[in-house]
Amino acid sequence: MTDRDPLVGVLVDVVWWLESCGDGEVDPDSAVKMMESVGGELLRLPSEIRVPLPVASCRSG
């Protein structure tokens, strides 16, 4: 178990799910738009709270 914010795990899971779904589950254009929106919001975070997110360690399996 790590001491990372639980929201980091949720965010990683949602973006991973959008990336990996088939066209029948989520419209591809909508998935790309949502992932770009998430990325844009992350870039707007103040630098003191932005940290590198080691994605492999965020996924609990």
Q: What is the pLDDT of residues 11-49, one digit of tens each?
A: 888 988 998 989 999 999 999 999 999 889 888 888 777
Max CA separation in the chain (angstroms): 39
Task: Please enumerate in sequence order all residues whose Cβ is within 8 A of that of 57, keeping only pairs 6 or more positions apart, or say none.
Answer: 2
pTM of the full structure: 0.65
Coil, strand, or helix at residue 53? coil
Task: Please enumerate in sequence order all residues whose Cβ is within 8 A of that of 31, keeping only pairs 6 or more positions apart, or say none.
Answer: 18, 19, 21
- Cβ atoms of 19 and 31 within 8 Å: the answer is yes
Band of the pLDDT at 1, cuts 50, 70, 90?
very low
